[in-house]
Amino acid sequence: MQNIDRILVGLDGDTCADAAAIAALHFSRATNTRLEFVHGVPDLEEHTWFLGREKLAALRAEAEALARKRCVSRLRRLLTPFATTDAEIDEALHVEIGRPSTLLSKRARDAAGSIVVLGSHRSRGVFDFGGTAREMLSAPPGPLWFQGSQPWHEVKRILVPVDRSPSSRDVLGLAHGIAEPLGASVTLMHCIEPLRIDDVEDAALGELNAEMRERAEAEFPREFAAGDEQLDITFTSGEPSDAVHAMSDDFDLVIMGTHGHSAFSRAILGSVAYRVLQKCAKPVVIVPQPAVQAIGTI
């Protein structure tokens, strides 16, 4: 089981991260976990280098102070109804010069056990390719919780789609680490993508697909539920992202892995995790995994 020791929330300059901030506060209180809000202030040097170091430093300090004032005001409006004090907000807020993704990644890597919570990005949803979400997904510093614009909903049922790669156990471990303090149940899901081979007759192909499912149903309990007889495991067939999307309606949170690389096109585009993020209305936690060859799909 993987414990969460710190929750980092990325704050933008408008209201897109409001739902993420509220969800993170509820999760922090339920798990007694340290909560931090991080806001990045664009650097002025590119446009004001000609002013000299002293003037540039003064402008940076002024920009940071103004940004902090606005963030405090916004967090008071959002969190005061949940009995959050000004002192708690002030202690949890970090405003610095720099790109939000860079600041969040650094803080997440500085302390093991951090999870980053992100909201939507502008009016185009979470996945504006120029935004913080895209940058965080291209090189995840650790687990990423995408709340999107969904309001907080108490987490009681967690869906965990997995393949049969060894690192899938890390995903399950994080799910247990989130579920236990929340009193939530965990359902492990494996989707068997049917074989489609043009040169094989339908009858033979049907037998192969049936054999794949039978083997998975026999082997999965031994692989993932050893010593955990209460773990619920469900199997389905079809296109994996569609299967996760359909099943997610009955759950409050989806936790799944993605095999990350530095190149965005390989890490995200076309991946099951990315398609789930595009389709799923429920919050999704993405757990970065090593680039290993998985057996099966999810």
Indicate the angle between helix axes 168-182 and 18-31, nearest 10 degrees: 80
Distances (CA, A) of 38 to 87, 169, 251: 16, 30, 29
- Going along the chain from its start, the domains and CATH numbers come out as 1-150 (3.40.50.620), 153-298 (3.40.50.620)
Report whether 172 contacts 267 (CB < 8 A): no
pTM assigned to the model: 0.85
126 vs 271 pLDDT, higher one: 271
Report whether 195 contacts 208 (CB < 8 A): yes
User: Does an H or E element contain 221, and which?
Assistant: helix 202-224
Tell me, what's the pLDDT at 264?
45
Report whether 147 contacts 25 (CB < 8 A): no
Tell me, what's the pLDDT at 218?
72
Return the number of other C-beta atoms located less than 10 Å from residue 262's C-beta: 9
Tell me, what's the pLDDT at 153?
87
Backbone angles phi, psi at 296, to 5 degrees: 85, -165
Whether the per-residue pLDDT at 26 is higher than 80: the answer is yes
- Per-residue pLDDT, averaged over 125-134, amounts to 60
Place of tokens 């530095």: 262
- Per-residue pLDDT, averaged over 173-185, amounts to 92
Report whether 117 contacts 17 (CB < 8 A): no
261 vs 65 pLDDT, higher one: 65
Instruction: Identify the CA nearest to 26 among candidates 182, 248, 133, 250.
Output: 182
- Per-residue pLDDT, averaged over 199-216, amounts to 65
Backbone angles phi, psi at 247, to 5 degrees: -75, -25
243 vs 259 pLDDT, higher one: 243
What's the Rg (C-alpha) of the chain?
21
97 vs 192 pLDDT, higher one: 97
Counting every residue, how long is the chain?
298
Distances (CA, A) of 260 to 37, 102, 186, 198: 25, 17, 24, 31
Average pLDDT, the chain: 81
Report whether 131 contacts 99 (CB < 8 A): no
Tell me, what's the pLDDT at 233?
87
Rounded CA-CA distance 291/298 in Å is 15
Percent of all residues in the chain with a pLDDT value above 90, rounded to a whole number: 41
Backbone angles phi, psi at 132, to 5 degrees: -60, -40
- Per-residue pLDDT, averaged over 87-104, amounts to 93
Instruction: Identify the CA nearest to 116 among candidates 176, 181, 35, 30.
Output: 35
Query: In angstroms, how far is the first alpha carbon of the chain from the final one?
Result: 20
Report whether 259 contacts 271 (CB < 8 A): yes
Q: Flag the least confident range among 11-15, 57-61, 140-144, 206-210.
A: 206-210
Tell me, what's the pLDDT at 294?
40
